[in-house]
Amino acid sequence: MTLPQIFFLITAFVILGSALMVVTTRNLIHAALWLIVTLFGVAVLYALLNAGFLAVVQVVVYIGAIAILFIFAVMLTRKEMRDRGPQLNRGWWLSGVIAALTFGGLFWLLQAWSGFSKTAADFPSGFDAVGQLGNALVSPQAFVLPFEVASVLLLAALVGAVYVAFNRK
């Protein structure tokens, strides 16, 4: 095994462990902090794949904006951080069985895949990944329509959030 593969495996285990902590911890603030660890691990994976722009966007947008916004929203809206009701529903075991079966199925499908032993190819010295990404996002032949639809949906969500926040009861 090469050093990047070992680093990938360590990062993957950190991501899986912190994602598990996101859904199993009882404290909502702790879940948000574990989410930040998970998202940072994904940024490390982007950096390992020579996608520096996506790694920076992951850190700035997801960790810097969404996770911190989530923490502030939880801190400002919840009066008491501990819920008094049960933390798990009665069908938690069914979810665990389905998750185990899904993991087993994916493991069975991927056990003979040769992609695990391959490494990412290095980019040529004059390769402009950010320029190509920008052209793909605004080119009519590529992803301009999904990009604009996503921006309109985000704007509608923002207007809806402002409406709900200022709705007088």
Checking phi first, is residue 50 left (phi over 0); if not, alpha (psi -120 to 50) or beta?
Answer: left
Residue with tokens 């390769």: 127
Write out the two tokens for 70. 């989530």
- 90 in a structural domain: no
- 108 in a structural domain: no
b/e 81-113 (16+ beta carbons within 10 angstroms → b): eeeeeeeeeeeeeeeeeeeeeeeeeeeeeeeee
- 122 in a structural domain: no
- 49 in a structural domain: yes
Among the candidates 79, 100, 122, a domain finishes at 79
Number of domains in the chain: 2
Please state, in angstroms and rounded to a whole number, the distance separating the CA atoms of residues 152 and 89. Answer: 36
- Name the 3-class secondary structure at 72: helix
- 87 in a structural domain: no
Torsion 1-49-52-67 (CA) sign: negative
- 156 in a structural domain: yes
Among the candidates 53, 79, 105, a domain finishes at 79
Measure the CA dihedral 1/103/21/12, to 10°: 20
- 145 in a structural domain: yes
- 63 in a structural domain: yes
pTM for the whole structure:
0.60
- pLDDT of the chain, 169 residues: tens digit per residue: 888 889 999 999 999 999 999 988 877 778 888 989 999 999 999 998 888 888 888 888 888 887 777 777 777 666 555 556 666 677 888 988 999 999 999 999 888 888 777 776 777 788 887 788 778 877 888 888 888 888 899 888 888 877 877 766 5
Residue 29 lies in domain: 1-79
